[in-house]
Amino acid sequence: MKTFLPKANDIQRKWYVVDASDKVLGRLATQIATRLRGKHKPIFTPHLDTGDFIIVVNAKKIRLTGRKMDDKLYHRHTGYMGGLKTTNAREMLNKKPEEVIRLAVKRMLPKNRLGRQQLKKLKIYAGSDHPHQAQLPEPLQI
């Protein structure tokens, strides 16, 4: 028996809307990463992008447990000598709430071209509105 490999036109991609209000960041990110990769589908293949599109709304209402709001640090580098910038989760949620979820999901995806391609299917919005009504997204309960 031959191993089944889905063709590009066999892959059915759906659109889902996830409401992030009062959801724990890590638990939400694992479910989103699983859906983006397509691991919930029977046609999952590790080297192909078989995942769905995910729209996350209310990103600014995400929850972190324990003392992570003050203790969790995000680092970035400007590219100049001594240019390491550090921000805690509280400041990051106030300035860029979409980036908190995007980074959590990105770090759960493969670190290669396939992971970058899968991350493009994630759309995150701080408020409750999104411009993807034409795709008829289904609500996803997490």
CATH, residue 52: 3.90.1180.10
List pLDDT tens digits, range 24-71: 999 999 999 999 999 999 999 999 999 999 999 999 999 999 999 999
Quote the pLDDT of residue 4.
85
Nearest to 101 by CA among 57, 40, 135, 53: 57
Quote the pLDDT of residue 1.
80
- DSSP β-ladder status, 122-124 and 138-139: unpaired
Domain-embedded: residue 79: no
Answer whether 51's CB lies under 8 Å from 36's CB.
yes
Q: Cα–Cα distance between 49 and 109 in angstroms, integer? A: 12
Domain-embedded: residue 76: no
Domain-embedded: residue 107: yes
**Number of Cα atoms under 13 Å in the Cβ half of residue 61:** 12
Answer whether 98's CB lies under 8 Å from 126's CB.
yes
Answer whether 74's CB lies under 8 Å from 86's CB.
yes
- DSSP β-ladder status, 53-57 and 122-124: parallel
Q: How many helices (H) and strands (E) does the chain have?
A: 5, 6
List pLDDT tens digits, range 69-95: 999 999 999 999 999 999 999 999 999
Lowest mean pLDDT across 3-7, 60-64, 72-76, 106-110: 3-7
Nearest to 101 by CA among 37, 28, 9, 42: 28
Q: Whole-model pTM?
A: 0.94
Q: How many structural domains are present in the chain?
A: 1
pLDDT at 142 over 90: no
Quote the pLDDT of residue 3.
85
Domain-embedded: residue 29: yes
* Full residue range of the structural domain in which residue 44 is found: 15-65+96-139
